[in-house]
Structures are given as structure tokens and as C-alpha cells.
A and B are shown apart, each in its own frame.
Chain A
Amino acid sequence: MSETWLILGASSAMGRALARSVSEGGASVLLAGRDLDDLRTHAADCTVRGAPIAEVIAFDARDPSGFNKIVTRAKATDGTLNIACFVGSMPPQEAIDADPGLIDGTVTDSFSGPAQLIQMLAPILEDRGSGTVVGVGSVAGDRGRIGNYVYGAAKAGFHTYLSGLRNRLTRAGAHVVTVKPGFVDTAMTWGIEGMFLVAPPEKVAQDILRAVKKRRNVIYTPFFWRYIMLIIRHIPEAIFKKMSI
């Protein structure tokens, strides 16, 4: 049966890696994002790697007026529709301190924008009784930390949204996977000090596809972040508030 992946934020390193992987497996891809020139380049790569259809769609998390078009295109697909969302922005915390107005954009990019679009797409998965939504959150969403708590708060909101959506879609036979990556070697993390155990995006894509196949609910990638975050989540607030990790 035919399968299509709608990838939101397809120019991101993780989005690209996933698009390549599923193309090699013979799925079609709809690459959504802002940099259409770059997406066209990537669509060509996906076609060459085996995707029967590789198309580009304009998607800007901050501009919901474009969402209807994406929904229409998604409805026109055959077979199983999967959605993967790699959207988010992480301005440096100091920039947000200087201009708290940046909080709106961060929350829109990392949570409310994509959530609104996914909400519009959910009925398609329900109608078809199949498909998976892969929502990429972040370990930063597990606990608010001094370094990036606005981004963390947005991702925490996204995690909660995904959990509720999973609750809903599972009744119709569709599924939601929440992905919490640790440090991934992307343009977002390149050159930031203090990164460790940085995972290549291809590894994250593999982990995601395995989780989709096994119908996992929440995954950390690479897996050891589950244990790192387990510890971080269990530090008593009285102590945690004095730490800077």
C-alpha cells in the first residue's frame, strides 16, 4: 500500500534525514517549509533516491493562512498519511531577556503553529484509520532550565499537546510518537559551547522510524537521554533552582 510522509520543517537536518530514509524505502514525500529553493533541491534528492512523489509545499508556522493549502494537498494523497514535525526556533535566552516579545514567535514556531496545522490534519488520519504523527519535541521541554526555558516551555506545551492527540487518534487506529532528541548535530547546535554526546541526524531518523514501526509512544534519541532526563526530572526543585545545567 502506498505511503506518504508530510514533513514539516523539511529543510532541517533531521527533517532531511527522515525524508531521505523514507524515500529510500519507497514512500512519497511532501516537503513543507519556508526555503522553497532548498526544498526543491531536497525533493530532487528524494526522487532520485526512490520517492514516487516528492513535492514542495510552502509552510510557515507563523502564517496560518497557508495551512488550508497543505491540508488540501494532504487529503489528495492515497494510502497512509504520516506527518513528521521538525519545526521550532530557539533564540538565545539573552535575546529573549532583552526583547520578551520574542516569546510569541518562539511559542508559535515550536508549538502553537505546527499544533494548529496538525489539528487540521488529524481528521484525515482518523478517516483513514491509519497513519502516524511524529512530533519532535525536546529534552529541554522536560524541565525548565535557566539557559533556554522559553523554548523549553514551548516544547513542553507541544509534548502535552501530542499526548492528548495520541489519546484521541489511537481510538481511530492512528498513532502519535513524541520524540525528544538530546543534542543533535544540526545547524541549530553547530558551534554552541557545552554540547556533548551529539548525535548525527541520520541516527535520529533511524530511531524515529523504528519507533513508528513499533508504535512507541514517547522516545528519547539517542536512548540514553531517557536516563539523563530521568535524573534531571527527579532533582528536587529546592536544589534544582540553584543549579545551572
Chain B
Amino acid sequence: MRSKPITYTGWGRVAIATSDVYRPERQTALAALVADRPGPALGGLRSYGDACLNDEGTAIDMTRLDRVQSFDPETGRITVEGGVRLGDLSRWLAPRGWLPAVMPGTGFATVGGAIANDVHGKNHHNAGSFGQHVLEMDVITPKGAKTTGPDKLPELFKATVGGMGQTGVIARATLQLKAVKGDVMMVTERRVANWDEHIALLDASQATYTVGWIDATATGASLGRGILEEAETGAGLVPPAKKARRVPFDAPGFALSPPVVRLFNATYWRRVPARGRTVVKPITDFFFPLDKIHDWNRLYGKDGFHQFQCVVPLSEADALREMLEKIAKAGSASPLAVLKRMGPGRGGMMSFPMEGYTLAVDMPAAAAPTPGVMGELMAMTRMANGRIYLAKDALSDGEFIRAMYPDHAKWARIIAKHDPDGVMQTDLIRRLGLRSFS
């Protein structure tokens, strides 16, 4: 099979790599490839930093292996190839009364990527992470194809879920879907005045899907203000989703400069009436609000952006407040900041979630304060016994990360068994030294 030299980046466009990319269209070709020219799998390239990069190595583009192999409308079990995109899957499933149990923020992510990063969604507090709904999967390891599940080679399963592609390529997966009433969402939005109210509302929320949008530029008494979104699936009629638009070029630096962002955020906050409102949206608009703007990452200009995302235990909410304060003071935040309460659910040894609060904030890479602020935030996360999300990371330190993931050494030992030559390593794994277990 021919490869193609491709230069590509993660979603944040801060790290770049050139790889010989193979793109198998059949399972037999995939298996042969992992045996002859192994390399890590690429999906939708929606992780932000260098998790999906393998500079000067080979990589396997999975997007042509995107077929549904079986679907049982009675039980909601579906078997798909690893390269199927979650957006395609949900557009197709929702009218049939089912949805992937966990939906991340973009529908361009693939099932393989969702497992490898053990992604979470707005229902993490009650549904857990993506990997917890995987019933079985076929992983093509450098030592051969293996079928694994929670009760079948459980060690391999726990190392693959959230395992950043290090056990091998996820060729197929069987998922337990979640029954839904229809393909619309009933969304209740309410203004939140400040941090304490935000935390209190998140704690009290009984909704299936709950997420807080935070104005990370607000300071003082308004620190932590935002909009709380609570949603349930429903049936009904909504206007069809608007056609996607594209960002045609890299935006100039002032597009997301602090005054523009402050103005945008204030307007966005006031968009929701003071007494709140309930609106009906197509499911894709609710789960994947930004997918309608293709290549929105170009809004950050050619230098790209970092997303800081951490989770801290429930008892450390104050530490998170301090982090937000630091971000707001630095003034380099973007319009996209999210606060959410997570449940304890996590599917693998290297999974990100833990019971607590998670904060995600985008920062333009070119802004002067960004690297310094990111460094401080990471140190604060560690102090608070929290964790940094590998899918978002491009800057953190290996020793920090290994300390934040208590099962790391055990995981690295299992990986060494399945990939002794380290052929599945990515730039992230090398940067953080995640294969060492001493």
C-alpha cells in the first residue's frame, strides 16, 4: 500500500507533524498494515495538542473504515468500524430512537478516538465516560489482533480505553447506545451571576445533560458568571439545522483580542433573558455547537491556541476558582470556557475523569501571557490533586502527568507487553515520557 506524506496538526494547531500516512479502506488492509508498517491511528484529528501526531513516523488514517456492521434496534447495541464519526452516527441513530451514550463536543471525532481518549460529555455526572459503554472491541496490536471487553482480556481493555492509541489500532467496537425520545433537545438556559451560584447550580442540577458556559473574562463580583444549560432529549419539530459554514482563512490577531472577547462574552451572557428560558434545538446543535463552523480553529489565527482543561476533586472547588481568577486577570481567555461537574465514571487506567469539577478554557497561543498562565494553572492543578486532560495538552510536564495519573506505571507495563518496540508512540507519549514505568 502506498503512503502519502502529510503535514498536519492537532485541533489547537500549536504542534505540527509530518508523517507517512496510510489510509486503508478494508479491514484486511488494516491488519496487514499494522503487521508491516505499524504506526498510531489517526481519526478526526480533534485532540488539541500532540496526542494525534507522529512526526517523522508512520500513521494510519482510519476515516475510510467508517461502516456500521450491525445494529439491533431492540437492545441498542451497535458494532461499528473505528473510523466512523460520532456526528454521522448520531444523525443516523437519533431518528431511530438511539444515541451514543456519551457525546463529546464535536461530532467529527471518531469512535476509535473517543475510546482512545475516553471522552466525556455533558452527561458525565450520570452516564460516565465513553469507554464505559464499550461492550467489546477489536484491537490490532503490534502483536496481533485481539478481541477485548470489560470481561474479556480486561487488562488490555482498561489499557486501551483512555490509552491514547498505545495498545494498537481500534478496528471495531460494539457500543451500548442510550435510548432517546427523539432527535431534538429541550434546553433550559439560565443566567448565572457568579462563581458560587454556578457551583451551587451545578451541584443541584438533576438534568440528564448539564453544562456551564463561563465568561472567563469577567472579574471581581462577576467572576464565574455564565450560563447554565440543562437539557433532556425529546421529540418534536424544530427547524432543520442550519447549513455549516467555513472559516476560509486564518483570522487576524485582533479577531479574538481581549476587548473583542469581553464584548462578545457580555453580549452572549445577556442573550439569555434574566429569568431564563427553555428552547428546543436539533440534537446536533446542542451537542456539537461549533461543528457548524468548519475549521473554527482558524479564528485563532495561524499561531493556534491552547486549551487548558483540568479536573479537581469536589473539595477543591476553591482552587478552581483561583485558577479562573488567574485566567480572568491575565485577560487572554477566549469566548470558549466550560465548567462542569463530573461524576466518578472513567473507563480506563489513563482516563481523565474523576469526581469533581472540570474547567476548560481556550487561550490564543500568540497572546503573551498564555504560556506563563498555562504553567501556573498546571501547578495549581497538581496542588489541588487534580488532573490535566491529555487530549487537550501540548505544554505540560511528564513528571506532573505521571503523578496525576496514579495507574500510569501499571498502564505503561501493560503497554510494553503489547507494543514492546514502541511503534505506536505519538509525539505526546514521547514528550511526556509516558512509556517509562520506573
Considering the complex, give the chain A residue whose CB is closest to the CB of B24. A187
Residue B64, interface by CB 8 Å: yes
Range of interface residues on B (Cβ < 8 Å) = 10 to 19
B16 sits at the interface (CB 8 A): no
Provide the bound-state CA to CA distance between A37 and B3, in Å.
24
Is A41 in contact with B4, judged by CB distance below 8 angstroms? no
CB pair B71 A48 closer than 8 Å: yes
**Is there a chain B Cβ closer than 8 Å to A78's Cβ?**
no
From B3, B24, B67, residue with most partner A Cβ within 10 Å: B67
Q: Does A101 contact B (CB under 8 A)?
A: no
CA distance A84 to B25 in the complex (A): 20
Across the interface, do B28 and A37 meet the contact criterion of CB distance under 8 Å? yes
Chain B residue nearest in CB terms to A188: B2
How far apart are B122's CB and chain A's nearest CB, in angstroms? 27
In the complex, what's the smallest C-beta–C-beta distance from A98 to chain B, in angstroms?
Answer: 18
Tell me the A110-159 residues at the B interface (CB within 8 Å): none
Q: A190-B23, A191-B2 are in contact. Are A45 and B68 (CB under 8 A)?
A: yes
A178 near B: Cβ within 8 Å? no
- Residues on the A chain within 8 Å of B64, using CB: 13, 187
Q: Give the residue of A41, A48, A192 whose beta carbon is less than 8 angstroms from that of B27.
A: A41
A104 interfacial contact with B, CB 8 Å: no
Select which of B1, B4, B23, B28 is within 8 A of A38 by beta carbon. Answer: B28
Question: Does B254 count as interface, using CB distance less than 8 angstroms?
Answer: no
Known: A49-B92, A190-B2, A191-B4. A35 touches B26 (CB 8 A): yes
Report, as a range, how many residues of chain A touch the other chain.
10 to 19
Residue in chain B with minimal CB distance to A35? B26
User: Does A44 count as interface, using CB distance less than 8 angstroms?
Assistant: yes
Within B285-305, the residues touching A (CB, 8 Å) are none
Complex: A187 Cα to B64 Cα, angstroms: 10
Interface string of A230-241 (1 = CB under 8 A from B): 000000000000
Is there a chain B Cβ closer than 8 Å to A180's Cβ? no
Q: Does A11 contact B (CB under 8 A)?
A: yes
In the complex, what distance in Å separates the CA atom of A44 from the CA atom of B29? Answer: 19
Is residue A175 contacting chain B, with contact meaning CB distance below 8 A? Answer: no
In the assembled complex, the Cα of A41 lies from the Cα of B26 at a distance in Å of 9
Instruction: Report A55 CB to chain B, min CB distance, Å.
Output: 16
Question: Is there contact, CB below 8 Å, between A41 and B69?
Answer: yes
Q: Shortest Cβ distance from B156 into chain A, in angstroms?
A: 23
Q: Per a CB cutoff under 8 Å, which of A16, A45, A191, A192 touches B69? A: A45
Give chain B residues whose Cβ lies under 8 Å from the Cβ of A48: 68, 70-71
User: A16 to chain B: which residues have CB within 8 Å?
Assistant: 25
Q: A13-B64, A45-B69 are in contact. Are A191 and B3 (CB under 8 A)?
A: yes
Could you give 15 example pairs across A and B, Cβ below 8 Å?
A11-B26, A37-B26, A37-B28, A38-B26, A38-B27, A41-B27, A44-B68, A44-B69, A44-B70, A45-B68, A48-B70, A187-B23, A187-B24, A191-B3, A191-B4
Interface residues of B (CB under 8 A from A): 1-4, 23-29, 64, 67-71, 81, 92
